[in-house]
């Protein structure tokens, strides 16, 4: 029976370590500040940024939430980003996705100052990944990395099957595994038989948002299973992986309580890293 990769407990450990770093910065007069921009009309997104703010404040950062009205159009959000780019006290800016329907997310993210881009999603930051030296890894990828590291699960030389290739989640995760020495099989909607590949992987990462996509028998005995998907069904939140896979896996993330809390934690950790880089901490 697999051991749980408990994201909540890991996030608490991250928060403690972070608090010590923030204390040191504050003692030198540097107060790391994170500002998050979110649509006032998107309840789910508001919930996400509140969790991110709560975690960041718990680690000693200043964390602000600023809402925008979709009716004011993308120009107003671009202006808000521009002001935060210029504000020397702001270390980290997060634009909570998804943006209102029809808005161009890639374009919006390209207006962030790359050295304040806490999610690491500015095109230039994504590009740095190809050269193996991002400023900060996108939060989900980094969260998975920290979760593995805290449990001393190595990646180098392993085979990682990553399902999903969204620019925000699946793509950076695949890049993270590659940069850390794994052979990566990247599957997606056009992959005829995903199970062919999950069965051969030491580490299965599913970021498709499709409940039950990976069957209990479709991971190999001893595999590490990271379930990034979370879908809200009538029976509550469900991951991509059949929970029965726990019978074969060596490690598995619960849903919820696995990757989610670590993603939240990495927003604060990235913000502190960006603060230290920009202000010489």
3 belongs to the catalytic site: no
27 or 193: CB nearest its own copies: 193
Residues 6+ apart with CB under 8 A from 216: 242, 243, 244, 245, 247, 248
d(CA 259, CA 7): 6
Q: Which spans of this chain sit near its own copies (rule: CB under 8 A)?
A: 106, 110, 122-133, 156-157, 165, 167, 171-172, 178, 181-188, 190-192, 197
Q: CA 247: distance to chain centroid?
A: 27
CB of 187 to its own copies, least distance (A): 5
Among candidate residues 15, 96, 175, 186, the one labeled active-site is 96
119 belongs to the catalytic site: yes
Among candidate residues 42, 91, 117, 119, the one labeled active-site is 119
CB of 12 to its own copies, least distance (A): 32
CB of 270 to its own copies, least distance (A): 17
189 is in an annotated binding site: no
Q: Are 268 and 55 in contact (CB under 8 A)?
A: yes
Q: Are 214 and 245 in contact (CB under 8 A)?
A: yes
250 is in an annotated binding site: no
Q: CA 235: distance to chain centroid?
A: 25
CB of 19 to its own copies, least distance (A): 32
96 belongs to the catalytic site: yes
Among candidate residues 52, 158, 186, 273, the one labeled active-site is 52
248 is in an annotated binding site: no
164 is in an annotated binding site: yes
d(CA 87, CA 75): 19
11 or 121: CB nearest its own copies: 121
Residues 6+ apart with CB under 8 A from 37: 66, 67, 68, 77, 80, 81, 84, 93, 94, 95, 96
d(CA 12, CA 243): 24
Binding residues: 164-166, 230
Q: Show which residues are catalytic.
A: 52, 96, 119
Binding residues for NADP(+): 164-166, 230
């Amino acid at each position: 029976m697999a051991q749980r990769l408990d994201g909540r407990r890991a996030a608490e450990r991250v928060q403690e370590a972070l608090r010590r770093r923030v204390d040191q910065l504050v003692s030198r007069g540097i107060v790391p500040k994170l500002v998050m921009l979110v649509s006032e009309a998107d309840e789910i997104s508001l919930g996400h940024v509140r969790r991110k703010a709560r975690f960041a404040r718990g680690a000693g950062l200043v964390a602000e939430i600023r809402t925008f009205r979709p009716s004011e159009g993308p120009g107003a959000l671009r202006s808000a980003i521009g002001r935060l780019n210029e504000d020397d006290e702001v270390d980290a800016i997060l634009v909570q996705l998804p943006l209102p329907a029809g808005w161009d997310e890639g374009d919006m993210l390209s207006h962030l100052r790359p050295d304040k881009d806490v999610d690491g999603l500015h095109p230039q930051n994504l590009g740095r990944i190809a050269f193996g030296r991002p400023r900060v890894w996108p939060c989900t990828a980094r969260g998975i990395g920290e979760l593995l590291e805290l449990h001393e699960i190595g990646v180098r030389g392993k085979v990682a099957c990553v399902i999903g290739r969204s620019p925000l989640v699946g793509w950076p995760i695949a890049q993270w595994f590659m940069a850390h020495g794994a052979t990566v099989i990247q599957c997606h909607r056009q992959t005829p038989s995903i199970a062919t590949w999950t069965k051969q992987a030491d580490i299965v990462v599913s970021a498709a948002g499709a409940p039950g996509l990976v069957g209990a028998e479709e991971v190999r005995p001893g595999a590490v299973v990271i379930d990034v998907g979370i879908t809200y069904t009538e029976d509550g939140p469900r991951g991509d992986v059949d929970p029965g896979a726990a019978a074969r896996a060596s490690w598995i993330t619960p849903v919820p309580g696995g990757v989610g809390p670590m993603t939240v934690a990495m927003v604060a950790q990235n913000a502190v890293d960006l603060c230290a880089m920009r202000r010489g901490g």
